[in-house]
């Protein structure tokens, strides 16, 4: 499983493809606490990306790091048949970067988003964006360029507002390694599948980064952590210890408290149910000095009062349903008044890619301390699988989340 693609399936199981095992599919069953071997992919892959689709299937593309180089076109796994199907109409060629190391690197780590009508939006790391349609024999259509942003290998793309199709992209480098990373940031807005995406350049990050990770928080802000200014695998020489927080209201970045340990190549970061962020790993290079088999917890500012003391948190006392279909209404009972809710899909992270996380802002209707929210009725927005539901008070302090499973359309 070393250097695979990862997605969470409709039941929340980690779905791990390729890597050192090239064509292998492994699925972790948390109920039985063991791994299940699935059918091999049609094409052996490593460093590919995958994404869960609105109908519960899983799409993958790219991955010339292992299993041979080139022609790593798309394929899709069906839970109904537990089998893979090749998609010759989903070619990898339109999403290649112009990496100095050639195809070995240029089809790696795609920024994939399952979207409406079973479509897939590819936001990067190539400067060319694309739509993929993983039905029948597949189809592909250009979605435009990511503005003036160059290829951004080992950068990040985060859907911080799925209702409005908003994606933040940050950092990355024109080549996989041995070249300066950028401070670039863009906001991509997607709508109907097959249409040209809108791209807006915003103010840059304060730090150039590649090999970093980004995590969307319950309030829609994005936490950007780790990385290197000059990416070199298994090196911490130009590591960035100061995280940044993107504010979608102002489109500005602010700096957070510095880390104690570098988080670069092979690092990861994930949002936890208590609204903190765990950042860990890095290295994995035998006995070298840049191995970091540990993790750190970041507590965002929304968990504190202005004087630095811990803020009192609202509590979700009960929730009317923990397994819902798109379009369902959920009633939440709180211990005290709140003003907003959000759903954040559980994430999976490897090699600066997290195709699972996304956020849905929810506007409640209130009756005393009972609040009703509505899940978006499009499964391409509310992707099937596990989500964290957060409630936030007027000061932006979040509750501890309750898990909600959204069923496939």
Answer yes or no: are the C-beta atoms of 388 and 402 closer than 8 Å.
yes
The partner residues of 405 in beta bridges, in order of sequence, read: 323, 386
Taking the mean position of all CA atoms in its chain, how far away is CA 373? 24
Residue 71 and residue 68: Cα distance in Å, rounded?
9
CA distances from 244 to 26, 225, 409 (A): 34, 7, 36
DSSP 116-133: GGG-EEEEESSSEEEEEE
Q: Is 265 a catalytic residue?
A: yes
Q: Which residues 6+ apart lie within 8 Å of 390 measured at CB? A: 218, 275, 341, 342, 343, 344, 398, 399, 401
Q: Are β-strands 295-298 and 198-201 bridged in parallel, bridged antiparallel, or unpaired?
A: unpaired
Residue 78 and residue 10: Cα distance in Å, rounded?
11
Task: Point out the catalytic residue in the list 47, 265, 298, 371.
Answer: 265
The HSE-up count of residue 69 (CA atoms within 13 Å, CB side) is: 8
Residue 207 is given by DSSP the state S
CA distances from 117 to 12, 383, 390 (A): 21, 11, 27
User: For 183-230, where are the alpha helices, taking DSSP H only?
Assistant: none
Q: Helix, strand or coil for residue 134?
A: coil
Answer yes or no: are the C-beta atoms of 335 and 315 closer than 8 Å.
yes
Report the catalytic residues. Answer: 265
């Amino acid at each position: 499983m070393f250097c695979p693609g990862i997605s969470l399936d409709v039941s929340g199981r980690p779905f791990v493809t390729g890597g050192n095992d090239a064509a292998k599919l492994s699925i972790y069953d948390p109920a039985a606490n063991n791994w299940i071997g699935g059918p091999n992919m049609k094409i052996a892959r490593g460093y590919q990306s995958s994404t869960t689709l609105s109908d519960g299937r899983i799409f993958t593309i790219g991955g010339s790091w292992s299993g041979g180089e080139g022609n790593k076109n798309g394929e899709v796994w069906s839970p109904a048949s537990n089998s893979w199907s090749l998609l010759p109409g989903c070619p990898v060629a339109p999403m290649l970067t112009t990496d100095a190391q050639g195809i070995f690197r240029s089809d790696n780590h795609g920024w994939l988003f399952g979207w409406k009508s079973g479509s897939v939006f590819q936001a990067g790391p190539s400067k060319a964006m694309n739509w993929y349609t993983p039905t029948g024999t597949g189809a592909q259509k250009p979605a435009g360029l990511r503005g003036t942003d160059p290829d951004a290998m080992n950068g990040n793309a985060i859907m911080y507002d799925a209702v409005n199709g908003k994606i933040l992209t940050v950092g990355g480098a024109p080549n996989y390694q041995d070249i300066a990373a950028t401070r670039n940031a863009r906001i991509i807005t997607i709508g109907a599948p097959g249409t040209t995406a809108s791209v807006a350049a915003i103010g840059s990050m304060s730090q150039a980064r590649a090999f970093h990770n980004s995590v969307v928080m319950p309030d829609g802000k994005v936490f950007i952590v780790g990385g290197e200014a000059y990416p070199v695998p298994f090196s911490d020489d130009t590591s960035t210890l100061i995280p940044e927080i993107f504010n979608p209201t102002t489109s500005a970045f602010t700096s957070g408290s510095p880390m104690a340990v570098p988080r670069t190549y092979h690092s990861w970061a994930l949002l936890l149910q208590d609204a903190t962020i765990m950042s860990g790993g890095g290295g994995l290079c035998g006995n070298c000095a840049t191995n970091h088999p540990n993790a750190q917890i970041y507590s965002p500012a929304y968990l504190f009062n202005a004087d630095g003391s811990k803020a009192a948190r609202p509590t979700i006392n009960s929730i009317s349903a923990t397994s819902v279909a798109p379009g369902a209404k959920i009633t939440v009972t709180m211990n005290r008044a709140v003003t907003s809710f959000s759903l954040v899909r559980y994430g999976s992270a490897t090699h600066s890619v997290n195709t699972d996380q996304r956020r849905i802002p929810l506007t409640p209707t209130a009756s005393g301390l009972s609040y009703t929210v509505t899940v978006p009725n499009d499964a391409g927005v509310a992707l099937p699988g596990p989500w964290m539901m957060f409630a936030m008070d007027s000061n932006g302090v979040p509750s501890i989340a309750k898990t909600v499973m959204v069923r496939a359309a």
